[in-house]
Structure 1
Amino acid sequence: MNAAQPYFDRVARHILTAQAAALPDLRGIVILLPGFHTAQPLAQALMREAQVPALLLPQMVTLNNWASSLTADFVPESRRLALLYQALQSRRWFGQADLWSLAQELLVLFDELTHSLSTLPSDADAFAAAVQQAYNARQNSTLQFEARLVFELWYAMQAGGEADAARAYQQRLAKLAQQADKPLYVLRTSDWTALEQRFLDQYAERAEVTVFDLREMETRWSGLLRDQTIPLNTLSTPPFGDRLRFFAATSLEQEARAATMQVRRWLQEGKRDIAIVAQDRVVARRMRALLERAEVLVADETGWTFATLSVSAVLDRWFTALQSDFYHHDLLDLLKSPYIFADMAAGERKSAVYQLEQLLRKHGIVSGLEKFIALAEHETDLHRPLARLRQAAILLEQGKKQGLGEWLAALIESLRVLGIDTGLQQDDAGQQLLRALEGWQQELEGDEGRYRFSEWRRWLAQQLDTQTYRDSSIDSTVRFTHLAATRWRAFDAVVLLGCDADHLPSVADGGRWFNDSVRSSLNLPTRGMHAARQCDDLLALLALNDCVLVTWQKDKNGEEGLLSPYLEMLRDLHTLTYGDDLSESELHAYLAAEDARKVELPQAVQPAPSVASEAVPQGVSISGYNSMVACPYQFYARHILHLNELDEVQEGIEKRDYGERVHDVLQRFHERYPQVCGHNVEEMEVALRRISEEVFADLLRQDFAARAWLARWFQSLPAYLEWQTENEAEGWRYAEAESKFDWQLEGVRLRGRIDRLDVRAEEKLVLDYKTQSEQALRNKLREPGEDVQLACYAYAHEAADAAFVSIENGKVKLVEPKQDVPLLAQLNAERLEQVMGRIRGGAGLPANGIDAVCTHCEMRGVCRKGEWQ
C-alpha cells in the first residue's frame, strides 16, 4: 500500500456513504479532479470500498475539461496579440521597447483582470455590465501609472464585440454553475483562484458541493509551514526520515549524475512509477541525456518550447541567411541542416553542399546569393539548389510590409520550395511545428496590421518560445513532470530536481514589466500567492509519496547555493526533533565507484605510420618537400591522407594577399620594363605606382584596410628600384617570372613555380620575393637543407645561384645561402629520391617536428603531440 491510498480510501468512503441510496450507480455525481492522473486511483478506491460486484463510476473531470464540453466562440490569442501590438504601437508610449513581449505580458494581465470580476457573467451583456461596474469602481481610486495603464487598456480591449479565451472560459463556467443539478465533489491541495472559487460558490447555490482539501485531511504536514510565527520547537513534526532525503551537489553535473544514479537504483529495486519533478530545466536536460545514455527512456509531461528544438533552428538559420544577404557562414549553416532539400536524394544533397563549400572557400566570396549563382555557372549540380534558394528568398522579400498571415503564408511556401517541409514531416516535432504555422496563418488571415520582416520575425520567435511540444511517442515508467501536475498523485518514487532557492518557489511567468505593486493595485494574484500555492503543492507531494529524493547545488559557479526555504525549514525541523538532517548517505559512494570503473584509454605514443607503396604520391611539390623535412608525419597527414584544413573564406586582407599582389606587381612591371637602367627614376616609380594601383584595385574595392597595405608597398618602391638598378649594374638581366617546372627525378617528380629568373651571360640566378625581414630569411637558411625552396629552384633551372629578395619596412635586401648552391641543390635532389624510396619500402614517417614547426601545425590534433608517453 502506498502513502496515498489511505487518503483516497477516506474520500471514497465519504462519497459512498453520502450516495449509499444510489449504489451501485454513481453516475448521478460529478468529481472534480486536479488532473486526470487522479482518476484511476480514485476509481480503484471506490471499487475497493464499495465491495460490490459492479460499480457504475461517476463523471470524473478537470474543471478546464468540463468547461470545454460547452461550445463558445472567441478571438484566437494570436489575433488578439496582434491587435494589442497595433494599439501599443499607435500610442508610442514605450519608445524602443520590445512591444511583442510587452503585449504578451499585458494579455496575461488582461485575462487575470477578466477572471477577477466580482461576478461570473454568462453572456456578453452581463460581461459588459460587470466590466463597467469594475471600471466605475476603479475610476476614482488612486492607481499608480502602470496599474492605470493596464486597467485602461483592458477596459478599451473589452469594448470590442468579440469574446476572448478568458471571457469564453468565464462564460462556460457560468453556464455550468447555472445548470448545476448533480452533487459535486472536489479534490484540491492548494487555494483556488478567484474565478474557480466564484464558480464553486455559484454551483453550491443549486447543488451540494463537497471539498476534499488535503491540507485539512493531513494537518501534520500542511501545518508545518503555514504559520511562520509559531516557534519551531513547539511544532509537532512527523518523522519523515524514512521517506525524504537530501543530496547537496557541488556542481550541475554532479546533481544530474546523482539523480540519474538514484533513478537507476530504484528501477533495479523494482520501482516502476518514478517521477522527476524538474524545478531546474537545465539540470533536467543533462539528466535526460544521462538517462538515455543508460538506455532509460523518459516520458515528458511538461514538454519543451519549440524555440529549444532543432526543428525551429532551421527556421532561424533560414531567416539569418536572408537578413545577412547569404553571408557564407550563414548559408553553409543553413545548407548543412538535415531538413533543407529533404526532397532530394541524400547523396545528391550532400554532394551539392560540398561542392558549394569548396567553391566558396576557393574563390573567397563572402556573401551575396547572386554572386554564388554566378560562381556556380559551370557546376550543374548546384544550379537547382541555388535557384530554389533564390525563389524562396523572393517569397520573403524583406523590403515590404504585410500582415502576419501573409508573412506566414510566404514562409510556408518558402519551406515548400526549399524542401524543408518534407524534412519536417519526417519528424514528430516538425509535424507539430508545421501545424502550428498553418494554424496561426489561418487565425491571422483577417489581421489588417502591416509589419516589417524584422517585426514579424520577432513575433514568430515569441510564438515559438511560448508553444510547447510534448513527445507522445515515449511510454515510460520514468517521467518528467512539474509540481502543479503532482496534485493528488502518488508515485513509487520521486526526484525533486533543482530545489535551490532560485527555483523553488519559482517566479510566476510574466514579470518583466509589471511588478507585485502593480498587481496588488489591480487586486490580482501576487508572487507571494503563487509561492504559497507551490508550498502547498510541495507538502501535498511529500504527504502522498513515501520515497522522495531532493537534489540541489550547494556550490554554483564558485558561490554558495541556498536550499529552497521551504525544504530548508523542513530539514531544520526534522534535525531539531530527531537529530537527523536527512542527508543522503549512499549516492556519493555509488558515484565514486562509477568514476573508479571508467575505462582508461591507452596513452598516445609518438606516431610513425608507414604507407603502402601504391599510396605513395608520384610527385611532390616544393611545399610538400619542405613539409617532409620539417616533420615526416606532417607530410603524411597533409599530402598522403590529404587532411589539409579547408581554406577559410577571407573577410579581411591578410599578409598572404599582400605578398601575392607584390609578386603580381613586379611581374607586370618587369614584363613592361625588363631593364630600368636607361629610364628616368621618377618615370619608373610612377609606372610602378600605377601598376601597383591596378593590381591592388580589387582589394581596395573589397576592404578599406587594403589602403594600408598599398601604402606599405609604396614605402618600398624607391628601395626596390635602387636594388634593381644595382642588380643590373652587376650584369644581371631579368629573363622570366612565375615559371612552372616539373622535373622527373629517380622515382619521383618535383613540381613548383619560381618567382623570377635573372641571367648574366651563361649564368642563371633564381630569385624568390619575400615580404619578410632580412633576419627572418637568414634564419631560414642558417641550417643547410632545412629549407629546400631555393635549392630546389636552383636544381630545376640548373642555376648556379639562388637568393631571397627581402622586401620589408622600406628596405630591399638580397639574402643568399652561405653554402655552394649547385652542391646544395644536388644534395637536396638526392635526399628527396632516397627518402621517397624508403617510404615506398615501408619506412615509417615519425612525428618529429621541432616546437617551432609544431606551434602553427594544423595536424597537431592528429599526431596528438603533448599526450605521448
Structure 2
Amino acid sequence: MGQGERVEHGVVAWEGRATVDGFWQQFAQQVQAWLLRHSVAMRDAVVLLPFAQHLAIARRAFAALGPWLPRLETTRSLAAGLGPPRLARPGELIGEGALDLLQALSRLRGSGLGSEDPRADRLHASQLLELTQALQSAAASLGPQGRSAYWLRVAQVWRREVSVGLESELLRIALEWAQHIGPPATDVLFEHQASAWILLESGRPDHLARAVLSEALVPALRLEVAGPGGLQVASPWRVHEVDEAGSLPAAAAGQVLRLLAQDVRPVLMPATDRALMRQVKALLLPHGVQVQDETGGSLATTGPAAALRHAVRAALLGNMDDLLAWAKSPLAPVGLEGVSPLEAWARRQRVKRWGESVPARAPAQAWRRLLEVTQPLRAGGARRPLQQWLLGLRQMLAACLALEESRWTAHDQATWRACKETLWLSRSPWPGSAAEGLMDQVLDAAEWLDWVDESLQDATPTSEDLGAPHVVITPLNRAALRPFAATVLAGVDVGRWSLGRVAPALLRQSTAAELDLPNLPAAQAQQWAALQQLARLPQVVCVHARHGDGVPLDWAPPLQRMRAAFASPWVDAEEARRPVATTAASASRAQVALPGWLPKRWSASQVAALRDCPYQFFARVRLGLGEADEIDRDPDPRDWGRWLHAVLQVAHELGDPVVHWDAACRQVLEREGVPAQEVWPFLALLQRWGPAYLSWWPAEAKAGRRVEAVERQLEGPVWAEDPLLSSVIWIGRADRVDVLADGSTQLLDFKTGSASSLKARVETDPQLPFYAALLAHLGDPVQDAAYLAVDSKTRSLQALACPDTPQAARELVDGLAEDLRQLHAGEPLRALGEGVACEHCAARGVCRKDDWSSA
C-alpha cells in the first residue's frame, strides 16, 4: 500500500436537530472508535482542526470520553509547537508585508522594470509580492515531495497563458522568487512522528493537512462535516428591514441588545463589512456589552499608531496639522509648553506648514522645542538606509521621553508595545537574516513614510481574551462549529457580501484555480458552506437595508439562495429599537443679564457684535466661543485682506511700491509658508491688486502724502478717568496712518472687494471711529479716516471717508460708555434674531433661534 492510500475518508454526521456540542461529542466518539479499530492509544494520536477557536470545545468533548486526550492542534499551532521557525535568509519572504514589499521593489528595479513613477513601481511590486506569496503558500501546502512537480506545472501554465510585456516579466520573477525560497516552517509537520493522524475539515479543504496525512506511514483519517440532505434549520430565520443603509448600525445593535436581554448569548456577528462592525461595536460598548473582535483590524487605526504617524509626518513633511496633533498626544516631548498659543496662531493665520525658520509673530516656545526634538529624524540626508531612518526615529522619541509605555493609558500600553515592535524600535534583526539585509536598503523620505504606513497597516493590534464574551465578531468562515446561541447578520446586500477579486491581480480566476491558488469560485463555495453552518444556530436575524444613498439594495446571492432553499418562509423580526415620546419644551427668545461684569479688553469687533446682536456679544466675549479655523482649508477673503495689508507694508518698506510690488508679493507668500507648487494662483491674485493701488498712490505721493505708520498696534484705557470703566482696555491695530501735505493725519483701512458693500455701512460701522478714538487717547489724533476699497476685478481703488471723524469718535466713546454702564447694571443682552448678522452667526446654536423663532 503506497503513501496516500492509507488515508481513510469519512464524514461526521450532523443530525438536523443536533447542537454544536452534540456535533463535537459525535466527532470525539467517532475518532475514539476509529483509533480503537487501529489499536492506537488516544494520547498518541494527532487531531488537526480547522481553526484555533475549535480547540477548547474539542478538548471538552474528548475529556468527556476519558482522562487521555489526543494532541489537538491546527497545522499552524502544531508547527509552532514543534520548534522555532527557520530564519528567512536574504532574498526570502520574511512574512512582514512592508519589508517584503521592499524586497519586491528591489527585484522589480533590479530586473530593469522600474519606472520614473514611484507609485506605479509600488503597484507593480505589490502585485509581484501578492503572486509570490500565493505561489509559496500553495507549494508549502504540498509538502517537500510534491513541490518539484508543482513548479513544473506552474511553468507550463506560464508558457501557455502569458504573452510578452510587463505582466510576463512579473510572472517570471514571481516564479523564480517563490521557487528559490527555502523550506517553510510547516515542513516540520512531515517529520513529526505520530501514531495516527486525524483531520477534520469544514467547508474548505486543508491542502497542507491533507499532504501531511498522505505522506504519513501511520493510520490516517480525514473527516468532513456532513449533514442530512437539504438545509436543516433550528428555527425560521427572522428579517428586520430598514429603509436606509445609514440605519443599519443602530438596527443591528438593537437586535443584539434584544437577544442579550433575553439571556441569549453569545451572539455571533459575522464580519462581512468591517466598517459596519466597527459602528455596531461602538453602539454596543456603552451598554456594557463585552465584544470579542476576532477580525484583528489594523494597528494603524489605534491611538498610539496615529500619534506616531503624526510625529513622523510632522518632522519630515512639515505639516502643521500633523505637528499640532502630535504635540497634543502622549508622544509629545515631556514638559512641552506653548502648544495652545501655537495652535491658536496657526489656525488664525491659516499656517499649513512649519519648518526651520520661526515666523516673526509665531509663538516660538513650542515651535523651537519641536524643532529640537525632530532634529535626529530630519538630519541625515534625503536618502538613507532603513536602519538610519529607524535610528533617527528612535532618537527623536527618546528625546521626547516617549519610548516608555508609562506615557500611555493601561489600555493603550500593549498597543504601543506592538507599534514599537512592528517598526523595529524594540527589536533587532538576527545576524544573517533577510531582515538584517533589508535594513541596509536605501530609501528616500517618501518611501520610508510609505514603509511606516504599510507596516502599521499590516500589523494587527493585540486583542484581549474576554473569556465569555456577550458578542463575538469574526469572519464568516471562522464561525462554523462554534457554540453560538444566535447570530445577527448585519447588512445582507450584494455589496457587503461581495468577495471582490480573490485571485492574485496578475492572474485570471481560471488560471488561479488551475494552480490551486485563491480564486473566486472556491471562495464562493466556502462562503456558501459557512452560511449553511449558520442555519443550524437556534436563532438567526438578518438586518437588511432596502436602499443605500437612494439606490435599491438587493439581497446577496448566497442569502437569496438560502431563502429559496427554506421550506417555510422567513418571518419578520421585531423592531428592537423603541421610540421615546418627548414633549417639546417651550422656548422663548434668548437673553442673559451680566450684572457686575465688564469686559477686560475692548475691540472694534466686540463693538460690532454688541450692536449687531447683544446675545452674540455674550457668546463671543463673555463665553469666549468662536469658530475653530481649519488649517488646511484654502485661503478665503479674510486671508486675502491680511495678505494685502502685508504686501502694502512690505512694498513701502522696500521703497517705491510701484517698483517693489512683485517682490513684496513673493516675500509675503514665502513668509506665509505657501508651498512653491501652490504659489502661482495666489501670486496672480496679489499682483491683480497692484494696479488698483499703484494707480492711486503716485498721484497722492506727488501731492505730498507720506506713510507715517503701518500695522500699528493700539492699546490703552480710553475711559481712564471714569471710575467704573477705567479697567476696560481698548485694543486694536490700525492698518495705516498717513500724513497729508497740509500736515494733517488720515487713518486708512484697506478692504478687498467692491466699494458698493462698504458704502451702505460706512456711516454706521464702528471700526474707523473706534481706532480714531484710541489714537486720540494715545496722543496721536487723526483729522480724517477712510476705507480704501481695492477691487481686483475692476482694478480700481475708491476712498470712502468717515464723515467728521473726530466728532464720530467722541460720540462713539460716549455711546459705548453708556452701553457698558447698562450692561454692568444688569441690562439683559437679548438675541435679536434678525438681519444678516443672524443669518451667518456662529452662535446660532447657543441662542437656539431655530427653537424660539418657530414657536
The CA distance in 2 between the partners of 1:522 and 1:15, in whole Å, is 33
Shift in Å at residue 17 of structure 1? 3.5
Query: Where does residue 196 of structure 1 map in the other structure?
Result: 209
Q: Which residue of 2 aligns with 1:85?
A: 105
State which of 15, 19, 30 in structure 2 corresponds to 1:3: 19
SS in 1 for 2:47: strand
1:678 maps to what in 2? none
After superposition, the Cα gap between the structure-2 partners of 1:624 and 1:191, relative to the gap in structure 1 and judged at 3 Å, is closer
1:151-175 CA distance string (max 9 Å, x none) = 6334422564x615xx332x22322
Question: Would you say how many aligned residue pairs link Structure 1 and Structure 2?
Answer: 789
Deviations 1:514-533 (A, max 9, x none): 33144145453421012112
CA distance in 2, matches of 1:377, 1:800: 33
C-alpha deviations, 1:664-721, integer Å up to 9, x for none?
878x89xxxxxxxxxxxxxxxx966358678767327556645654563444455556
Q: Is the 8 A contact 1:785 1:824 kept in 2?
A: no
Name which of 409, 417, 420 aligns with 1:431: 417
Report the secondary structure of 2:523's partner residue. helix
| CA separation of 1:132 and 1:26: change in aligned 2, threshold 3 A | closer
Residue equivalent to 2:689: 712
| 1:743 alignment partner AA | V
Does the alignment pair 1:56 with 2:40? Answer: no
Indicate conservation of the 8 Å contact 2:477/2:530, yes or no.
Answer: yes
Change (3 A) 1:244 1:835: same
**Distance apart, 1:284 and its partner CA:** 0.3
- Structure 1 residue 633, shift from structure 2 partner: 2.5
Aligned pairs (5 A) from 1:242-257 = 242-257=235-250
Structure 1 SS opposite 2:238: strand
Residue of 573, 583, 590 corresponding to 1:585:
573
Which of 753, 757, 761 is residue 780 of structure 1 equivalent to? 761
CA distance in 1, matches of 2:76, 2:494: 31
Contact 1:493–1:547 (Cα < 8 Å) also in 2:
yes
| Residue 273 in structure 1 maps to residue 235 in structure 2 | no
Decide whether the 8 Å contact of 1:117 with 1:134 is kept in 2: no
Tell me which residue corresponds to 1:640.
622
2:371 to 359, 380, 386: 386
Distance 1:196 1:6, change over 3 A: same
Following TM superposition, by how much is the alpha carbon of 1:839 offset from its aligned partner in structure 2, in angstroms? 1.1
Q: 2:454 aligns with which of 440, 443, 462?
A: 462
1:388 shift after superposition: 0.9
Change beyond 3 A, Cα 1:868–1:656: farther
Instruction: Choose from 411, 415, 421 the match for 2:397.
Output: 415
The gaps in structure 1 that reach 5 residues or longer are 222-237, 670-685
Could you tell me whether the CA contact under 8 Å between 1:23 and 1:55 is conserved in 2?
A: no
For 1:91, the aligned partner's letter is S
Q: Once the 2 structures are TM-superposed, how far is the Cα of residue 289 of structure 1 from its aligned partner?
A: 0.5
Which residue number corresponds to residue 185 of structure 2? 168
Is 1:854 the counterpart of 2:838? The answer is yes
Relative to structure 1, the CA distance from residue 156 to residue 812 in structure 2 (aligned partners, 3 Å threshold; closer, same or farther) is closer
Secondary structure class of the residue paired with 2:289: coil
CA distance in structure 2 between the aligned counterparts of 1:501 and 1:522, rounded to whole angstroms:
28
Give the conservation status (yes or no) of the 8 Å contact 1:119–1:130.
no
Q: Residues 326-337 of structure 1 correspond to what in structure 2 (within 5 A)?
A: 326-337=318-329
- 1:612 to partner: Cα distance: 4.2
TM-score by length of 1: 0.78
Tell me, yes or no, if the aligned pair for 1:300 and 1:479 is still in contact at 8 Å: yes
Separation of aligned partners in 1, 2:392 and 2:741: 72
Equivalent position to 2:287, from 284, 291, 294: 294
- Separation in 2, partners of 1:265, 1:700: 60
Q: What is the CA-CA distance between 1:307 and the residue it aligns to?
A: 2.5
Match of 2:822 among 811, 830, 838: 838
Provide closer, same or farther for how the CA distance between residues 268 and 57 of structure 1 changes in structure 2, counting only shifts above 3 A: same
The 3 A distance-change label for structure 1 pair 388 and 612 is farther
- C-alpha displacement of 1:272: 2.9
Relative to structure 1, is the Cα distance of residues 690 and 862 closer, same or farther in structure 2, using a 3 angstrom cutoff?
A: farther
Shift in CA distance, 608/64, structure 1 to aligned 2, threshold 3 Å? same
Instruction: Report the CA distance shift for 1:270/1:693 in structure 2 as closer, same or farther (over 3 A).
Output: closer
Shift of 1:280: 0.9
Superposed CA offset, 1:594-623 (max 9, x none): x335x677576533222241x413563444
The root-mean-square deviation of aligned C-alpha atoms, in Å, is 4.3
Deviations 1:287-324 (A, max 9, x none): 00010122212111221112332322223223322342
1:343-422 equivalence runs, <5 A = 344=334, 348-349=335-336, 351-358=337-344, 360=346, 367-372=353-358, 379=365, 383-394=368-379, 397=380, 399-402=382-385, 404-422=386-404
Contact 1:492 1:547 in 2 (8 A): yes
- The 3-state SS of whatever aligns with 2:535 is helix
How many Å apart are 1:850 and its aligned residue? 4.4
Counterpart of 2:8 in structure 1 is none
Relative distance call for 1:764 and 1:584 in structure 2 (3 A) is same
Aligned match of 1:218 in 217, 223, 228? Answer: 228
1:195–1:143: structure 2 CA closer, same or farther, 3 Å change rule? farther
Q: Which one is further off, 307-316 or 434-443?
A: 434-443
Asked if the contact 2:200/2:224 (under 8 Å) is kept, the reply is yes
Alpha-carbon deviation of 1:825?
A: 5.2
Structure 2 residue aligned with 1:27: 43
Q: Secondary structure at the match of 1:248?
A: strand
TM-score by length of structure 2 reads 0.80
Q: Secondary structure of the equivalent of 1:633?
A: helix
Q: Tell me how far 1:20 sits from its aligned partner.
A: 5.3
Unaligned runs of 5+ residues in structure 2 are: 1-16, 89-93, 672-678
> Conserved in 1, the CA contact under 8 Å of 2:237 and 2:571?
no
Task: State how far apart, in whole Å, the 1-side matches of 2:789 and 2:799 are.
Answer: 7
In the other structure, the counterpart of 2:437 is 446
Larger helix percent: 1
Task: Encode CA deviations 1:503-523: one digit per residue, 9 max, x unaligned.
Answer: 435246564343314414545
Going from structure 1 to structure 2, the CA distance change for 1:802 and 1:527 (only over 3 Å counts) comes to same
Provide the C-alpha distance between the structure 2 equivalents of 1:82 and 1:277, rounded to a whole number of angstroms. 34
Query: How far is 1:354 from its partner?
Result: 1.6
**Cα deviation, residue 88, structure 1:** 1.4
**Gap change, CA 1:382 and 1:771, over 3 Å in 2:** closer
Deviation at 1:390, TM superposition (A): 2.4
* Equivalent position to 1:804, from 775, 786, 804: 786
What percentage of residue pairs aligned between the two structures are identical?
Answer: 20
SS at match of 1:616: coil
Aligned amino acid, residue 658 of structure 2: R
2: CA distance, partners of 1:739 / 1:516: 72
Alignment equivalent of 1:743, drawn from 708, 714, 718: 718
Letter in 2 for 1:88: L
Return 257-266 or 24-33, whichever deviates more: 24-33
| Residues in 1 aligned to 2:19 and 2:535: alpha-carbon distance in whole angstroms | 9
Q: Provide the secondary structure at the position in 2 that maps to 1:743.
A: coil
**Aligned-partner Cα distance in 1 for 2:657–2:134:** 78
CA separation of 1:362 and 1:202: change in aligned 2, threshold 3 A: closer
Q: 1:268 to 1:792 in 2, by over 3 A?
A: same
Q: How does 1:111-122 map to 2 (within 5 A)?
A: 111-114=133-136, 116=138, 120-122=142-144
| SS of 1:242 mapped into structure 2 | coil
Query: Counterpart amino acid of 2:332?
Result: I
- Map 1:584-623 to 2 at 5 A: 584-587=572-575, 590-591=576-577, 593=578, 595-597=579-581, 602=585, 605-613=588-596, 615-617=597-599, 620-623=602-605
SS state of the match for residue 528, structure 1? helix
| Distance in 2 separating the partners of 1:420 and 1:644 | 33
Matches of 1:799 and 1:148, distance apart in 2: 83
For the pair shown, which has the larger CA radius of gyration, 1 or 2? 1
| Distance of aligned partners of 1:806 and 1:309 in 2 relative to their CA distance in 1, 3 Å threshold | closer
Structure 1 residue 9 displacement after superposition: 3.5
